[in-house]
Amino acid sequence: MGRDIGDKEYSAKDYEQFNRRIHDQVDILKKVIARPEFGRGATCIGGELELYLMNEHSDVSPVNLKLLEMLQDDQFQPELNQFNLELNLSPVPAAGKPFTQLTKEMVTKFNHLWTVAEQIKTRPLAVGILPTLKEQHLSNEYVTDLGRYRILCRELLKQRGEPFHIQIEGKEESVDFFTSEVCVEGANTSFQVHLMTAKDQFANTFNAAQMTMPMAIAVGANSGVLLGKCLWDETRVVLFKQSIDHRMPEVSGWRQPARVTFGHGWVRKSAWELFSETVNLYEPIIPELFDDKLADGQQGNLPELAELNLHMGTTWPWHRAIYSNAGDGHLRIEFRALPAGPTALDMAANAAFAIGMAVGLSDRIDEYMSRFPFRFAEYNFYRAAKRGLEATILWPQNYQNKPVEVPIKNVIDDMLKVANDGLSQLDVELKERDKYLNIIQRRLATGVTGATWNQETLRFLRKSMPNDKACVKLLDMYFENQMQGHPVSEWECCWK
């Protein structure tokens, strides 16, 4: 979805040609992956950080295109809404100190962005959902004026044919409204982490990532407030799912697959299954055709498979398989469930924990899957997103003869060792592992995540001021803490 595409109407012939091309390309991909020389490069880690832009009154600042002109930095890219930006981080080798490198680049780029944005009275912020966001900001008036976003909004709504229903129940508060605006999805900002994965290890690592992601989002949650209401700890998960669910209820006798999904089952053998699944389960939304001189992958060249990659980018699984033709080519897993913020250290720690668990459990994943149906992993994911560190989840037990619910805190504690082992397998240095996994351990010990800090601070502030002013005050406190850069578990907790 990062390509420049002009706003246009597509014909039935465009859809037919595009559909044929992605089916042809998924067949080509199978042959490309099978080449002995494919994916021989060193393992790297990368990331994409989505940011909010807010004004001096802690309201949204819809100036992303203007800010991009001022920045003149290709690592910053536009997002769906005018008050969001994306920072594409440089890939770094997994061996050594990858998370320190990611942290340094995030801080350096963020500080530069803040300096430039200050000139137009704008402040960047890394948070899963902006607490001061209002319903009027979730309208097409705020969609970034680029063709690919206008097409996306139009086609998703066209497929559904009626407004999207946003209905989220929190512990004590809720939101319930209808909207025809796909830009509600832009309320969610994430820290998307990429892990290059050897083709023969992909299935096991991907399955392990699916199984362990509930622990990562529970301890990394940072999306606790939407429209001034305290909802799920990771409200992004349910909001994202509902905001672009193009399916019409009761339109057929079988359940259509959602474009935002946890998945459809364990990967059996290879990454190719996920590409084939996406081609065969989802209608094209943007049937844009590109000129790819290497399209057939002949004569040793690696094809770009541009249409296939575009189609993959119009579905939003919480873990996505990605193909790249750079160098010897590679496959990677995109971890999409982690929220933006609270600080660079927190985000790097979340990445270390998620990647470490996926790699560390991959060698034993068959043993876990034999006792753990896929629907249990999906159940755990949504339970962790809703309840955070207070969640209980289903988890395999010794001498098990039926599923047992256990506190997610206990599983996180056990997974810290698994994550350490996984990072060790990637040749991450011992001090690096200790530094970032200790940040996770500290959050677990204090019970303070970004979500709990935001929710509890807001509840405390409401005692002395109206909710709208409490949200503004909360955001000012959050911004000040973020600029200081200390992990959220070290932030002052006014409610204690």
Q: What is the pLDDT along the chain (496 residues), one digit of tens a residue?
A: 456 677 788 999 999 999 999 999 999 999 999 999 999 889 999 999 999 999 999 999 999 999 999 999 999 999 999 999 999 999 999 999 999 999 999 999 999 999 999 999 999 999 999 999 998 898 888 999 898 888 888 887 777 666 778 899 998 999 998 877 777 877 899 999 999 999 999 999 999 999 999 999 999 999 999 999 999 999 999 998 886 554 444 444 445 688 889 999 999 999 999 999 999 999 999 999 997 655 555 555 799 999 999 999 999 999 999 999 999 999 999 999 999 999 999 999 999 999 999 999 999 999 999 888 999 999 999 999 999 999 999 998 887 777 789 999 999 999 999 999 999 999 999 999 999 999 999 999 999 999 999 999 999 999 999 999 999 999 999 999 999 999 999 999 999 8
Task: Compute the half-sphere exposure of residue 131: CA atoms within 13 Å on the CB side of its CA.
Answer: 31
CB 200 within 8 A of CB 331: no
Residue 262, domain CATH: 3.30.590
Q: Name residue 117's beta-bridge partners.
A: none
Which residues span the domain enclosing 484?
12-49+124-490
CB-count exposure of residue 464 (10 Å: 0-12, 13-18, 19+): exposed
Strands 405-407 and 392-394: antiparallel
Domain annotation covers residue 85: no
Domain annotation covers residue 119: no
- Give the CA angle between residues 140, 142, 147 to the nearest 5°: 70
User: Which H, E and C letters describe the chain, residue by residue?
Assistant: CCCCCCCCCCCHHHHHHHHHHHHHHHHHHHHHHHCCCCCCCCCEEEEEEEEEEEECCCCECCCHHHHHHHHCCCCEEECCECCEEEEECCCEECCECHHHHHHHHHHHHHHHHHHHHHHHCEEEECCCCCCCCCHHHCCHHHECCCHHHHHHHHHHHHHHCCCEEEEEECCCCEEEEEECCHHHHHHCCEEEEEEECCCCCHHHHHHHHHHHHHHHHHHHCCECEECCEECCCEHHHHHHHHHCCCCCCCCCCCCCCCCEECCCCCCCCCCHHHHHHHHHHCCCCCCCCCCCCCCCCCCCCCCCCHHHHHHHCCCEECEEEEEECCCCCEEEEEECCCECCCCHHHHHHHHHHHHHHHHHHHCCHHHHHCCCCHHHHHHHHHHHHHHHHHCEEECCCCCCCCCCEEEHHHHHHHHHHHHHHHHHHCCECHHHHHHHHHHHHHHHHHCCCHHHHHHHHHHHHHCCCCHHHHHHHHHHHHHHHHHHCCCHHHCCCCCC
Domain annotation covers residue 110: no
Count CB-CB contacts under 10 A for residue 321: 22
Q: What is the reported pLDDT for 356? A: 98
Q: How many Å apart are CA 382 and CA 169, to the nearest integer?
A: 13
Q: What is the reported pLDDT for 1? A: 46
Alpha carbon 176 to its chain centroid, in Å, reads 24
Domain annotation covers residue 420: yes
Domain count, the chain: 1
Q: At a CB cut-off of 8 Å and minimum separation 6, what does 422 contact?
A: 355, 356, 357, 358, 359, 360, 361, 362
Count CB-CB contacts under 10 A for residue 141: 11
Q: How many Å apart are CA 287 and CA 307, to the nearest integer?
A: 8
Q: How many Å apart are CA 64 and CA 335, to the nearest integer?
A: 25
Q: What is the reported pLDDT for 149? A: 87
Domain annotation covers residue 108: no
Q: Name residue 324's beta-bridge partners.
A: 330
Indicate the pTM of the whole model: 0.95
Q: How many Å apart are CA 87 and CA 120, to the nearest integer?
A: 19
Q: What is the reported pLDDT for 3? A: 61
Domain annotation covers residue 118: no
Domain annotation covers residue 57: no
Q: What is the dihedral of CA 79, 84, 90, 93, to 10 degrees?
A: -100
Q: Say whether the peptide bond before residue 342 is cis (omega within 30 degrees of 0).
A: yes
Alpha carbon 3 to its chain centroid, in Å, reads 19
Domain annotation covers residue 446: yes
Among 427, 411, 441, residue whose Cα is nearest residue 346 = 441
